[in-house]
Amino acid sequence: MSELYIPPERPERNLVNGQFLKGCTPHNKGKRMVYHSKWTKRRSLQGLVKGRGAHHKTGAGMNKKSVVVIKDRKLIGVYASVNEAGAKLCITPSHISDVCLKKKGHKTVRGYKVYFENDNAWLTEIDY
C-alpha cells in the first residue's frame, strides 16, 4: 500500500511584513480595477474630475488672511490676501508671507512693512 503524499504548504506572503515572496504573484496582478457598485465608482473617480475639490477640506483660498501694507508710516492699503497684495504691489506672495510671519529676520519687503490685519502691531506703525 502506498501512502498519500501531501505536499508541504508554502506561504505566498512574508509573515512579518505581508509582502509577496519571490516567485509568488498576487491573484490580481495586471487586472483592471473592478467597481462593485455605482457608488464606489463615482467616489473613486470624483478626484479625477477637473475643477472639483468638494472632497477636500482645504483648498486654495481657504486660509487666506487680510494683509495691511505700510510705507513711510502711511497706510498704503488693506488687501484680502497675500496673493492679492502681491499682485497689486508686484511682489512675490511668498516674500510677503515671510515678512508677515516674521521668518528669516525680514522686516520689510521692497520698503513696505507688511502685517496680517489681525496682528495689532501695525497700529503703532502708522501716523493718523
Q: Is residue 88 part of a domain?
A: yes
Residue 61 within any structural domain of the chain? no
What CA–CA distance (Å, rounded) separates 68 from 77?
A: 6
In the prediction, which pLDDT does 97 show?
92
pLDDT of amino acid 37: 62
Quote the domain boundaries for residue 118.
67-124
Q: Where are the alpha helices (H) located in 18-118, listed in sequence order?
A: 38-45, 82-89, 93-100
Is the whole-model pTM more than 0.75? Answer: no
CA distances from 40 to 9, 14, 33, 120 (A): 36, 30, 11, 49
For residue 80, what is the domain's CATH number? 1.10.10
Structural domain includes residue 99: yes
67 touches 82 (CB < 8 A): yes
Q: Name the CA dihedral angle for 29, 31, 36, 41, rounded to a multiple of 10 degrees.
A: 110
Indicate the number of domains in the chain.
1
Tens-digit pLDDT profile for the chain (128 aa)? 678 888 777 778 888 888 888 888 777 788 877 666 655 656 655 555 555 555 556 666 778 899 999 999 999 999 999 999 999 999 999 999 999 998 888 889 999 999 999 888 888 888 87
In this structure, what C-alpha cell is assigned to residue 32? 483592471
